[in-house]
A and B are shown apart, each in its own frame.
Chain A
Amino acid sequence: MFRTFRNLKRFFTQTLPTAVVRIVMAPAHFGTWLLNGVWQLFVSWWESRRVRHLLYGLPALIVFGISGYFAAAATFRTRSSISDRYFAAGKRAFDTRSYASAKLYLERVIELQPNDMEALWMLQQSARETKDNNRYRAILARLAPEDGRGRADSHLELAAAILKSPNLTPEDVERGAKHLKYAVSGTSSAEVESKARALLGDIAVQKGQYLTAKQEYEKAVGARPELALQLFRVSRALKEENEAARWGAAARDFWAKQLSQNPDNVEYRLIAADMYHGLGEFEKAITILNGGLPAKKPEDESKLRQFLAQCYLHWADSLTTDSALENQNPRFERITQAILIYPHNAEVFQAMMLLLKSGGDVSSQAKDFLLDNIAKGRAVGMSHLLLGTQALVDLDDAQAEFHLKRAIDLMPQAPIVANNFAWYLAFKDPPELEQAMTVIDPVVKLLPNDARVLDTRGNILVKLKRYQEGINDLERALRTLKDNEQTHAALAEAYEGLGIPDLAERHRKEVERLKPR
Chain B
Amino acid sequence: MATIADRGEGISQLKSQAESPFATKLRGSPFIPLVVIAGFLPLVFWHLVELLQKPEYQYLVLLPLAAWALSTIREAGPIAPRKRPLPAMLLAVISCVGGLAAAWFWSPWLGAVSALIAVIPCLWWTGGWKYVREWLPVWVLCWLIIRLPFGWDQRLVQNLRTVTTRLASGVLDELGILQLSYANVIELPGKPLFVADACSGINSLHVLLGAALFLGLWFRRRALHIVALLAATFGIVLIENVSRLVTVAAGFRWKVDLSEGAKHATLGYVLFAISLLLVISTDQLLVFLIPLAKSKQSPATTATSAIHRSLGASFVRQILGAAWAAAAVVVGALSVTNASMPHQLPAWSTFSPSNFDMPKLGEDFLPKELAGFKFDRHSEVKRVFGDPFGQASQQWIYRRGEIFATVSIDYPYDGYHDLTECYTAIGWVVPEDHKELLTVEQLPAELTDGESGTLAIARMSQELFGSSLLLFSLVDRNGVPAASIKSKARATSGAETAADRLKSFGNRQPNAAPAVRYGGPYVQFQLFATSPNELTDEDRKRVIALYLAARKLLLPKGVESLKEQSSSSPPAPTKKESA
- List chain A positions with a Cβ less than 8 A from chain B: 45, 48-50, 52-54, 56-61, 63-64, 67, 70-71, 73-74, 77, 82, 85-86, 89, 98, 100-101, 104-105, 107-108, 110-111, 120, 123, 133-139, 141-142
Q: Contacts of B277 on A, CB cut-off 8 Å?
A: 59
B466 touches A137 (CB 8 A): yes
Listed stretches B43-51, B167-175, B352-360; interface member: B167-175
Cα-based distance from A142 to B170 in the complex (angstroms): 28
Cα-based distance from A137 to B239 in the complex (angstroms): 40
Query: B574: shortest Cβ distance to chain A, in Å?
Result: 43
Cα-based distance from A78 to B466 in the complex (angstroms): 30
Q: Contacts of A56 on B, CB cut-off 8 Å?
A: 1, 280-281, 284-285
Q: Contacts of B533 on A, CB cut-off 8 Å?
A: 137
B402 touches A133 (CB 8 A): yes
Query: A84: shortest Cβ distance to chain B, in Å?
Result: 12
B180 touches A104 (CB 8 A): yes
Assuming A57-B282, A85-B178, is B239 touching A138 (CB within 8 A)? no
Q: Contacts of B464 on A, CB cut-off 8 Å?
A: 110, 120, 123, 135, 138-139, 142
Assuming A89-B178, A134-B465, is B402 touching A54 (CB within 8 A)? no
Is the CB of B23 closer than 8 A to any CB of chain A? no
Cα-based distance from A63 to B276 in the complex (angstroms): 13
- Picked from A77, A100, A134, the residue with its CB within 8 Å of the CB of B404 is A134
- Picked from A60, A71, A105, the residue with its CB within 8 Å of the CB of B282 is A60
Query: A25: shortest Cβ distance to chain B, in Å?
Result: 35
Cα-based distance from A134 to B530 in the complex (angstroms): 7
Cα-based distance from A138 to B402 in the complex (angstroms): 11
Is the CB of B444 closer than 8 A to any CB of chain A? no
B532 touches A137 (CB 8 A): yes
Residue in A45, A67, A73, A107 with the greatest tally of chain B CB atoms within 10 Å:
A67
Cα-based distance from A107 to B179 in the complex (angstroms): 10
* Proximity bits, B286-321, A CB within 8 Å = 1, else 0: 111001000000000000000000000000000000
Is the CB of B189 closer than 8 A to any CB of chain A? yes
B466 touches A135 (CB 8 A): yes
- Picked from B235, B283, B285, B291, the residue with its CB within 8 Å of the CB of A61 is B285
B178 touches A70 (CB 8 A): no
Query: A403: shortest Cβ distance to chain B, in Å?
Result: 38
Chain A residue with the shortest CB-CB distance to B403: A134
* Proximity bits, B176-212, A CB within 8 Å = 1, else 0: 0011111000011110000000000000000000000
A57 touches B285 (CB 8 A): yes
- Picked from B1, B170, B232, B402, the residue with its CB within 8 Å of the CB of A137 is B402
B187 touches A134 (CB 8 A): no
B284 touches A53 (CB 8 A): yes
Cα-based distance from A53 to B291 in the complex (angstroms): 11
Q: Contacts of A136 on B, CB cut-off 8 Å?
A: 532
Query: B3: shortest Cβ distance to chain A, in Å?
Result: 13
Chain A residue with the shortest CB-CB distance to B461: A138
A138 touches B286 (CB 8 A): no
5 closest A-B pairs by beta carbon, nearest first, are A57-B285, A137-B532, A74-B170, A56-B284, A53-B288
Is the CB of B278 closer than 8 A to any CB of chain A? yes
17 A-B pairs whose Cβ atoms sit less than 8 Å apart in the complex: A53-B285, A53-B288, A57-B286, A57-B287, A60-B281, A63-B239, A86-B178, A104-B188, A105-B180, A110-B464, A111-B180, A133-B402, A134-B402, A134-B465, A134-B466, A135-B532, A137-B466
- Picked from A57, A73, A111, A134, the residue with its CB within 8 Å of the CB of B288 is A57
Is the CB of B565 closer than 8 A to any CB of chain A? no
Q: Contacts of B284 on A, CB cut-off 8 Å?
A: 53-54, 56-57, 60
Cα-based distance from A453 to B167 in the complex (angstroms): 67
Q: Contacts of B288 on A, CB cut-off 8 Å?
A: 49-50, 53-54, 57
If A105-B178, A135-B532 are given as contacts, then 14 extra A-B residue pairs at C-beta distance below 8 Å, sorted by A number, are A53-B287, A57-B287, A60-B281, A70-B174, A73-B174, A77-B173, A77-B174, A89-B178, A104-B187, A104-B188, A108-B179, A135-B464, A137-B466, A141-B532
B281 touches A57 (CB 8 A): yes
B465 touches A138 (CB 8 A): yes
Cα-based distance from A104 to B185 in the complex (angstroms): 12
Query: A466: shortest Cβ distance to chain B, in Å?
Result: 26
Is the CB of B24 closer than 8 A to any CB of chain A? no
Chain B residue with the shortest CB-CB distance to A67: B239
- Picked from A70, A110, A123, the residue with its CB within 8 Å of the CB of B170 is A70
Q: Contacts of B278 on A, CB cut-off 8 Å?
A: 59-60, 63
B171 touches A70 (CB 8 A): yes
Cα-based distance from A57 to B282 in the complex (angstroms): 6
Chain B positions 222-240 with a Cβ under 8 Å from a chain A Cβ: 232, 235-236, 239
Query: A152: shortest Cβ distance to chain B, in Å?
Result: 20
Q: Contacts of A101 on B, CB cut-off 8 Å?
A: 189-190
- Picked from B1, B190, B532, the residue with its CB within 8 Å of the CB of A100 is B190
Cα-based distance from A376 to B291 in the complex (angstroms): 113
A74 touches B178 (CB 8 A): no
Assuming A104-B187, A105-B178, A135-B464, is B239 touching A60 (CB within 8 A)? no
Cα-based distance from A100 to B187 in the complex (angstroms): 11
- Picked from A74, A86, A134, the residue with its CB within 8 Å of the CB of B532 is A134
Chain B residue with the shortest CB-CB distance to A105: B178
Residue in B173, B188, B190 with the greatest tally of chain A CB atoms within 10 Å:
B173
Q: Contacts of A105 on B, CB cut-off 8 Å?
A: 178, 180
Chain B residue with the shortest CB-CB distance to A101: B189
Cα-based distance from A142 to B466 in the complex (angstroms): 10
B532 touches A67 (CB 8 A): no
Cα-based distance from A186 to B404 in the complex (angstroms): 33
Chain A residue with the shortest CB-CB distance to B285: A57
Query: A80: shortest Cβ distance to chain B, in Å?
Result: 13
Chain B residue with the shortest CB-CB distance to A55: B284
Chain A residue with the shortest CB-CB distance to B277: A59
Chain B positions 376-415 with a Cβ under 8 Å from a chain A Cβ: 402, 404
